[in-house]
Structure 1
Amino acid sequence: MNTLNRQNPLLWLCLLLLAWAVLGVQLATPKVASGPFYAATEHHLSVTRWEAAPRLGLDAWTTKFASGDTVGAKATGNITAHAADDIRFSQNTVSFNKTDRVTGTNYTYNDLVQSMRTNGWKGDPVDVVKMPDGKLTSMDNTRIAAAREAGVEVKATVRGFDDPLTPAIQEARGWQNFSTWGEAITARINKQSGGFSNSNPYGSSGLPRVTGGGN
């Protein structure tokens, strides 16, 4: 048999090709990612939404990104459409001028409004919290304000006031000190200046003031 194999190069070539095919199938088979590393990296923990926005183009950042918010864990609740006027604000100001920290690209609140007027609402939903009075208040203030001015509906994921925050969301948004969506949004409301939280304990229906130029 050994003599036959040594004298039959065609047989050796066939065996070599078979081995190569088996190796190729193994390398091409997708591996299932699991574990805390993949859970963390999927949420892009180090990139702020405004920083990421210009790299995706104006149409993309119209609604996928928001002022100063971190790209958080993907929403798991149902996404619903709401009139922008039906959603309250958790901040009393939003910034007009924005600069991408990575690329240095400048863009403005007005750019965001105009893009929404042209393209409507695209991209990820905002997170809104159903407050104890039954009304909705948003964690994302810039996009809600821009949607009101543009006259477009808001796509939102509604969170219950007592809904727990997942570890991924806590890490992504720096909310390790909060255990529920209600705690997180209440803390944001209470951080506002000028007695905002005293007058608006569950958020304000009035547009936030645009600071730094423009409007």
Structure 2
Amino acid sequence: MTDTIELKGPRLNEPAPDFKALTTDGEKTLADYKGKWLILFSHPADFTPVCTTEFIAFAKRQDDFKAKGVELLGLSIDSHYSHIAWVLSIKEKFGVEIGFPIIADLNMKVANAYGMIQPGASDTAAVRATFIIDPNGVLRAMVYYPMNAGRSVDEIYRLVEALQTADANKCAMPENWKPGDPVIVPTPGTVAAAEARASEGYDTKDWYFSTRTL
């Protein structure tokens, strides 16, 4: 008998864990974002330097995300009033307005549901976890960063663009794909389809590797 491995926490291409939580913009639930893409991201603590740079970066790209139908939602294991004070501090000291809500998760309910607590890093603070959830509430991507290295908001934006483009065009995306780059055509699933691939008009290097422009 083979042993089975039980994976804890959220899993890709399955419904994202539901939540109901107090935020700096009132109570929010996962259902509030139905029909939109959602980026749910955690940070270790308010009033810390690396987290401040990340929130400023997200705020500066918020309009770009909105143009793609994407909402932003932050989270840390801090109090509601700590979040409010931090948002006001960022506006005063850096001249940047945080226009997206932040979940206050003192009981760690949302953080635990999403696997944001990594005991190897901390038992009481969320790591830099980012979750991309599609309009149907399905978890499409997860990205984890350590406590001492800030994440790339530009890469998260690129990842959302890649996912949306792949969905719309039934294709896959090569390394570091950006709009305008060729996309990967799905690999043939039969011998007959593989033999026919070279004559289908794609840029084909081998039967399993073909690209096209959109």
Q: Same fold (TM over 0.5)?
A: no
TM category (shorter chain) comes to under 0.3
TM-score, reference length from structure 2: 0.27
- Structure number with greater CO (CA < 8 Å, separation at least 6) is 1
Q: Which has the higher helix share?
A: 1
TM-score, reference length from structure 1: 0.27
The structure having more radius of gyration, on CA atoms, is 1
Q: Which has the higher strand share?
A: 2
